[in-house]
A = this chain, B = another copy of it.
Amino acid sequence: MLSSRAKYATRALLDMTLHYEEGPVQIQDIAHRQNIPVKYLEQILLLLKVAGFVMSRKGPGGGYHLSRSPDDITLGAVVRAMDGPLAPMSCVSISGYSECGCPHPDTCGLRLAWKEARNAIADVLDGTTFTMIRDNQHQLQDLLRQDPMIATIMDDENSSTKN
């Protein structure tokens, strides 16, 4: 499970994607719209700034805006910046090959499986840009506007029974 830091960060970036054409958006506005504790969001935006996803301007009319096109920001990059490697086990992240304590990491069958899992998740998250997320969201909203009853059906169809 990803941290709430990652959850809020991605929500904030989606919010800024939705307001990308307008000027800078203020922390308070993002916080209110996205239901995020203001003071916590401040810290998270600072992290996103250090990581190069957003820029800021102080003073009246200031606020935050994406530092590049939402087409060039992937979910994977953001999650890594907030929560570290996507790897399910340290032995398949660059930083921690030999630190897993496994008796024979070089021939470990589990390691192979963890690697596949990491690659699968990375493929999805690195292949998803905030532009795509925005477009998908608009499509969902259109669908729901046409037929409000579709909501529950959509959920049943899209979610597998597996947690």
Using CB atoms and an 8 Å cutoff, list the residues of chain A in contact with chain B: 1-2, 7, 10-11, 14, 33-35, 75-76, 80, 84-90, 92-95, 97, 100-103, 106-110, 112-113, 115-117, 119-126, 128, 132-138, 140-141, 144, 151, 154-155, 158-163
Within the complex, what minimum Cβ distance (angstroms) separates A31 from chain B?
11
Contact B120 A136 (CB under 8 A): no
Q: A14: which B residues are within 8 A, CB to CB?
A: 109-110
Give the distance in Å from the alpha carbon of A135 to the alpha carbon of B7 in the complex: 38
Counting every copy of the chain, the complex holds: 2
Complex Cα spacing A20 to B120, Å: 30
| Chain B residue nearest in CB terms to A122 | B162
**Which of A89, A102, A108, A110: most chain B Cβ within 10 A?**
A110
Known contacts A35-B103, A106-B144, A7 near B89 by CB under 8 Å: yes
- Of all chain B residues, the one with the shortest Cβ separation from A108 is B137
Known: A92-B159, A159-B92, A163-B80. A120 touches B109 (CB 8 A): no
**What is the bound-complex CA distance between A76 and B161, given in angstroms?**
13
> CA separation between A136 and B102, bound complex, in Å?
16
